[in-house]
Structure 1
Amino acid sequence: MGIMATDYDTARKTDDDLREDSIQELQARRGDEGSGGIDIDETDLAESLELPGADLSDEELSLRVIPPQSDEFTCSRCFLVHHRSQMAVEGDGEQVCRECAA
């Protein structure tokens, strides 16, 4: 008793159109669609993928680290650097952002 979704953007077929679509025509169309596909060499694809546990010890990561500016603070709970306008609590030497204080 499943209900099929209706795609209202597709063109509607009339009864005459439905009668014209014979099984042979539909099978011929299906065969034509499959022949236009792209052939992919699976070995090349496998070599280009990186697995989650891949050894990246020979890779070098370089990025520029900027120290916190005078108008920024580091939250003592989430350890993210925020603008001073995001500070919620500054008691007992703890600086907490609004997200962590909520």
Structure 2
Amino acid sequence: MATDYDTPRKTDDEVGEDSIEELKARRQDKGASTVDVDEADLAESLELPGADLSNEELSVRVLPRQADEFTCSRCFLVHHRSQLAKDDGTQLVCKECAA
């Protein structure tokens, strides 16, 4: 819920002066702001696992590991050298896996 911090604030005396009708009208206004979602359109845009992707081509350029990067021996992700937590000589471990 967004809050406008620039609007003038009511004092305790002014808050007590709100009538029941005003409070009911505010509650009804909040209920009217809900958005109806058409479930049929949502279902058509989802792709199911196992869909036929044989005609699709990979459009991502894959770069080889750079000189300042390493592959973690636990999670097998490529990280920058600044994320190196342990270097056991043969095994490099990132900070996330070492934690």
Q: Shorter-normalised TM-score: what interval?
A: 0.5 to 0.7
Structure 1: runs of 5+ lacking an equivalent: 1-11, 22-32, 34-39
Question: Structure 1-normalised TM-score?
Answer: 0.52
Please give the alpha-carbon distance, in whole angstroms, between the structure 1 residues aligned to 2:43 and 2:96. Answer: 42
Query: Which residue identity is paired with 1:49?
Result: S
Equivalence for 1:71: 68
Equivalence for 1:95: 92
- CA 1:46–1:81: 2 relative to 1, 3 Å: closer
Deviations 1:34-92 (A, max 9, x none): xxxxxx7x5xx379523322222211122111111111101011111111111111114
Please give the alpha-carbon distance, in whole angstroms, between the structure 2 residues aligned to 1:73 and 1:79. Answer: 9
Equivalence for 2:48: 52
Matched, 1:61 2:58: yes
Query: Counterpart of 2:92 in 1: which secondary structure?
Result: strand
Q: Which range moved further: 51-60 or 64-73?
A: 51-60
Query: Which residue identity is paired with 2:58?
Result: L
Equivalence for 1:14: 19
| Identity across matched positions, percent | 51
Query: Which residue identity is paired with 1:55?
Result: D
Please give the alpha-carbon distance, in whole angstroms, between the structure 1 residues aligned to 2:43 and 2:19. Answer: 50
Please give the alpha-carbon distance, in whole angstroms, between the structure 1 residues aligned to 2:74 and 2:83. Answer: 13
| Structure with bigger gyration radius | 1
Figure out how many residues of one structure are paired with residues of the other and give that number. 72
